[in-house]
Structure 1
Amino acid sequence: MKKLSVTPKHRQFLGSEAITTYSEAKTVILPIPYEKTTTYRKGCENGALAIIEASDQLEAYDDELGKETCIETGIYTQKAIADTRVNPTITPEEMLAATTEAVSQLIHDGKFMIALGGEHAITEGVVKAYQKALSDSFTVVQIDAHGDLRFSYQGSIYNHACVMRRILDMGLPTLPVGIRSICKEEAELIAARKIPVIYAREIYYDRNWMAKAIANMTTKRVFITIDLDGLDPSLLPGVGTPEPGGLNWYELTQFLKQIFLQKEVIGCDVTELAPLQDSVVSQFTAAKLVYKLIGYHSLA
């Protein structure tokens, strides 16, 4: 298969299968390889490029959807922003400003955007751009193992463990799904704010969890943020803090499909891939998940 010849810093998602111009593309991939606050296993600044490289091995044809999604939608990959591999001194404030600016332009241009982290802290900047652009509220659906609801952590309010607290501070409703690790502070906040958490154990024991989750999305519009540790680490081990008991592939993809069918998904991000040295399973799975998001959006 002939591949698109690009520099390592600007490779295209799906390679030559998805070659198109920015103006023609309906979907834009925005790499944000930012990593400053990871607290266990490092390496998520390499996640975005690993996903893009792994996407070269994807089949363009989606057997579930019965079509070559990339041909129908057109996919363009932007150059990376807030790249701590290139600029390790970038501050959280600078990252957030750059992210909000870049995403705002994509919204203005009418693109369906998927941001690739990097650490989960990027989501604050992404969501801020949508909040500025839209006149009505939207729900942030969070696929994650962890609550990420601490007010601050290790001296910073911009820590990846605080990102969903920052989203709450924006006044937006959230729906955490797949949660199986929280601290006491987060448990108390969930109770006080009546946050409709779908815990991972519910997914295993409640056949109606998916309908319950969608019923708790109280807005027409939805933004989806995926921390890849939301999946079970037996399926995707290359994350910073793997937690047992996460979602399996079909639980996650069918849930996402139902969101796209029943709600207006305005954008997505996929974060926290920390590639393993001797295995491509994690980045390939993440790349296929990104392609599924694009395919499900084409159903709308």
Structure 2
Amino acid sequence: MRHAEGRFLASELEDVAPDGARFHVIPVPYEESVSYGDGTASGPAAILAASDQLELWDGESVPAELGIHTAPAVDCSGGAEAVLARIEAATATALSHGGLPVLLGGEHTVTLGALRALHRQHGRFGVVQFDAHADLRDSYGGTPYSHAAVMRRAVADLGLPLFQIGVRALCREEVDCRAALGVGHLDAAALARHGIPTPLLPPDFPERIYVTFDVDGLDPSIMPATGTPVPGGLGWYDARRCLELAVNGRQVLGFDVVELAPMDGFHAADFAAARLVYDIMGLVQRLGR
């Protein structure tokens, strides 16, 4: 049965019952603390609509063979804590069915709800962040639940190891936070100068990981439809290669794609985000354990 807000790959697949699906897609149209352009509340619906144009064969495999279930969109009314609690509950529901949660944002704050649920079930794991921004401020705009503080919450509050890829805009507070909390990083400038290292992640990084992909990690030439675009971002195939190296041999507990802010009449960015979601599913299928 098709949800009113759409399903992932609805044009190609019947909905799979929760117990039969590896991937549980959770739309989270939350937008509260955006600080430049707006529109991220429309991101999940745009990704679901664009997914109707995907091919089941992703070039190497058919990730949908593992089963994809699309949950109802999370209710994003009320304050940040109430919304985060609902995101945590939706993620926990996916986990109770043995599924891998796939969150569609919405602003980056939504990641914290998923991390709380996973931390409650699994304890320690690593977070691999693709982003133009470090998101390590202790608070921003008067709230610790800002998109600009979400990774600070992950590291400082939940104690999760973090590795950042593609960052190219950060403040001095975030530089100091990286040093104080041992946050690993491969920033965009280093990637441009030296290429992608192998291995990508530190040797002591956890084998269990969560991947959070803010679409502004991609260069604006590929992804202009985001609230805070920054020049000098990742190209499509460099991002794919980094994802491959991060996922290979590791257990992916969940992932998200966030911060898409659709542009009227411009479908390329919506499709790129949907393709990114499906490509990560494929990497989990082929390379994860």
Give the TM-score normalised by the residue count of structure 2. 0.95
Residues 40-85 of structure 1: per-residue CA shift (max 9 Å, x gap): 000000000000000001111122x1x3321x111111100033xx
The residue that corresponds to 2:119 in the other structure is 131
Match of residue 77 from structure 1: 70
| Matching residue's letter, 1:103 | T
2:164 corresponds to 1:197: no
Q: Deviations over 1:239-260 (max 9, x none)?
A: 0000001111111112212222
Specify the alignment match of 1:244 in structure 2.
231
Match of 1:228 in 2: 215
| Shift of residue 154, structure 1, vs aligned partner | 1.1
Deviations 1:102-129 (A, max 9, x none): 1112112110111001000011111010
1:220 maps to a residue whose letter is: E
- Deviation, 1:7, is 4.9
> How far did 1:33 drift?
0.5
For the Cα contact (< 8 Å) 1:12–1:18, is it kept in 2?
no
Pairs aligned (count): 285
Question: 2:57 is aligned with what amino acid?
Answer: Y
Distance 2:96 2:115 in 1: 14
* Other structure's SS at 1:246 match: coil
Partners of 1:259 and 1:268 lie apart in 2 by: 12
Which residue of 2 is the match for residue 23 of structure 1? 19
Q: Which secondary structure state, in structure 2, belongs to the residue aligned with residue 106 of structure 1? A: helix
State yes or no: 1:156 paired with 2:149. Answer: no
Give yes or no for contact 2:27–2:44 (8 Å, CA) kept in 1: yes
What RMSD over aligned residues (CA atoms) do the two structures have, in Å? 1.4
Within a 5 Å distance, the mapping from 1:7-156 to structure 2 comes to 7-9=3-5, 11-19=6-14, 20-63=16-59, 65=60, 67-70=61-64, 72-83=65-76, 87=77, 90-135=78-123, 137-156=124-143
Distance apart, 1:217 and its partner CA: 5.7
Task: Return the offset for 1:8.
Answer: 3.4
Query: Alpha-carbon deviations, 1:130-185, whole Å to 9, x = none?
Result: 000014x1111110000101111111111110000000121111001100000111
Q: CA deviation at 1:39?
A: 0.7
Residue identity matched to 1:76: H
| Separation of aligned partners in 2, 1:274 and 1:204 | 26
C-alpha displacement of 1:24? 1.8
Identity between Structure 1 and Structure 2 (%): 37
Query: Which residue type is aligned with residue 135 of structure 2?
Result: D
For structure 2, list consecutive stretches of 5 or more residues without a partner in the other structure. Answer: none
Separation (CA, whole Å) in 1 of partners of 2:129 and 2:8:
23
C-alpha distance in structure 1 between counterparts of 2:263 and 2:226, whole Å:
8
TM-score under structure 1 normalisation? 0.91
What secondary structure does 2:184 align onto? coil
Return 5+ residue gaps in structure 1 as ranges.
Answer: none
Rounded Cα–Cα distance in structure 2 between residues aligned with 1:212 and 1:204: 17
Does residue 259 of the first structure (1) align with residue 253 of the second (2)?
no
- CA 1:7 to 1:222, structure 2 compared with 1: closer, same or farther past 3 Å? closer
Checking the alignment, whether the CA contact within 8 Å between 1:149 and 1:164 is kept in structure 2 is: yes
User: Which 4+ residue blocks in structure 1 deviate beyond 3 angstroms?
Assistant: 5-8
**Post-superposition offset of 1:295:** 0.9
Superposition deviation, residue 27 in structure 1: 0.9
Instruction: Name the SS for the 2:11 alignment partner.
Output: helix
